[in-house]
Structure 1
Amino acid sequence: MNGVDDKTEVREYFNATGFDRWKRIYGDGEVNKVQLDIRTGHQQTVDTLLDWFKADENLADLTICDAGCGVGSLSIPLAQAGATVFSSDISEKMVEEGKERAIALGLKDNPTFVVQDLETLSGKYHTVVCLDVLIHYPTEQAADMIKHLASLAENRLILSFAPKTCLLVILKRIGEFFPGPSKTTRAYQHREKDIVKVLEDCGLKVKRTAMTSTKFYFSRMLEAVREE
């Protein structure tokens, strides 16, 4: 199926059964063992990125676009730390949940949450972040999306993706034989060298990297900055 069909599937999934599933995963309520493992892995990725931001000691000076923000797992702590955050997601339900969580913590105007897909994002930001979203894009569409996000980033683009390795390809193929009631959207893996090549073509150079690996969650994160 083409990229448009993938996008429609993602939107419908995260506005229906997927929203309830991922709301639990991104929350702190009771979940099953697989969901708990994914929750732990995702939080490790978020915590690693927050540590990067904090180490730079300039959060209060930054404008950040959290592209594919989900329920605000990253946007909210960034806003609490002083950054100005624009948060977007394709799922209306995810955005509404993010707003509610922010308001409950006393954050009214920051982050700014909007329902918007990655293709229509515009503006300029010091840093653009896109965590665990490229898994929904096949290779060609992922490359185009990275180029678009790079055009919005004045200084830095931070991405995470499911790395394409022999082991993970095998595990993915095994899993496809057992979709069951918890079948989600198609999951695309990407070779790191392909992602790096696209970033370099956009004038960005990888500075920091991290890998989060649990039993069911695998995410490679790259920080790429503009070369002077």
Structure 2
Amino acid sequence: MTFNKNLEKSEVREYFNGTGFDRWRKIYSKSEEINTVQKNIRKGHQKTVDDVVSYVKNYPELTTKTFCDAGCGVGSLAIPLLRLGIKDLQVSDISSEMINETKKRINELGLSQRKIKFLTSDLEQLKGLFDVVICLDVFIHYPQPVAEEMVRHLCDLSKEKLIVSFAPYTPILAVLKNIGKLFPGPSKTTRAYTLREKGIINAANEKGFIVVQKKLNQAPFYFSKLIEFNKVK
């Protein structure tokens, strides 16, 4: 399959600013206006978020560290990070609608009295330097070479830690060709890709990051490999 990166990004941006926004806003909320497939996706994604929170809350001097949530969606991770006491957080997403929803949820919960930067941006255009960079379930929209390039860029943004999750390559998913074919009818989303874990790890290794821990989370219609990296001092 030929991959046109600019076209694909445009399609992802359009989807998450349109029909996709309302669909995923409902999935990542307490709404009951979703089907069984979407409920299982919610459960699976929540497992991944809970695991990240369990990692982060054990970091020394947590509240003094700077964080970047790249591809924040509707704030599913940003909100629990703020509840941990994190005071310096940048949240970004390719979709302005997602950023607006994240900002709305944070304000409604009274968590806005922190140093929070909201940024509508392509992941590869992100700049800055942070103690911890986190990117969950974003790479599903990009094939292996592009995802590995993104991992290297995220490493350049991190001084200490990088946490990523992605849909892992498995023989079953390879037969289905892509995750999107697991979604029936109106649940189907944008084009999706499974990635080989070795390539993701090698990309981080090239930038001086090593694996600390990893975990596979899965629920029906949700498969995500979570990896935490440390930068070698």
Distance 1:43 1:57 in 2: 24
Distance 1:37 1:69 in 2: 20
RMSD of aligned alpha carbons: 1.7
**2:43 alignment partner, one of 40, 52, 58:** 40
1:12-41 Cα shifts (integer Å, max 9, x gaps): 000001001100000001121000000000
Distance 2:4 2:83 in 1: 39
Letter in 2 for 1:27: S
Please name the residue that 1:117 is paired with.
122
**Per-residue deviation at 1:173?**
5.5
Please name the residue that 2:13 is paired with.
11
Please name the residue that 2:221 is paired with.
216
Distance 1:163 1:108 in 2: 35
Distance 1:27 1:54 in 2: 23
Distance 1:120 1:175 in 2: 26
Q: Is the 8 A contact 1:3 1:138 kept in 2?
A: no
**Per-residue deviation at 1:55?**
2.4
**Per-residue deviation at 1:172?**
4.5
Distance 2:133 2:179 in 1: 34
Of residues 199-208 and 165-174 in structure 1, the stretch that sits farther from structure 2 once superposed is 165-174
Q: TM-score, normalised by structure 1?
A: 0.95
1:74-122 Cα shifts (integer Å, max 9, x gaps): 1111112111210000111111010000000112243322211101100
**Per-residue deviation at 1:177?**
9.1
Letter in 1 for 2:101: E
Distance 1:182 1:222 in 2: 27
**1:166 alignment partner, one of 155, 167, 171:** 171
Distance 1:212 1:58 in 2: 28
**2:189 alignment partner, one of 178, 184, 189:** 184
Letter in 2 for 1:62: K
Letter in 2 for 1:188: Y
Identity %: 49
After superposition, the Cα gap between the structure-2 partners of 1:177 and 1:205, relative to the gap in structure 1 and judged at 3 Å, is closer
Q: TM-score, normalised by structure 2?
A: 0.93
1:122-162 Cα shifts (integer Å, max 9, x gaps): 00000110000011111111111111111000111111000
SS of equivalent to 2:57:
helix
Consecutive unaligned residues in structure 1, runs of 5 or more: none
SS of equivalent to 2:13:
helix
After superposition, the Cα gap between the structure-2 partners of 1:149 and 1:42, relative to the gap in structure 1 and judged at 3 Å, is same
1:163-183 Cα shifts (integer Å, max 9, x gaps): 001022224459639863333
Please name the residue that 2:149 is paired with.
144
Please name the residue that 2:89 is paired with.
85
1:187-212 Cα shifts (integer Å, max 9, x gaps): 01111111111111110000011111
Consecutive unaligned residues in structure 2, runs of 5 or more: none
Of residues 177-186 and 94-103 in structure 1, the stretch that sits farther from structure 2 once superposed is 177-186
1:38-78 Cα shifts (integer Å, max 9, x gaps): 00000010001101111235321211100000111111111
SS of equivalent to 2:58:
helix
Number of aligned residues: 228
Please name the residue that 2:112 is paired with.
108
Distance 2:183 2:45 in 1: 23
Please name the residue that 1:227 is paired with.
232
Distance 1:178 1:106 in 2: 36
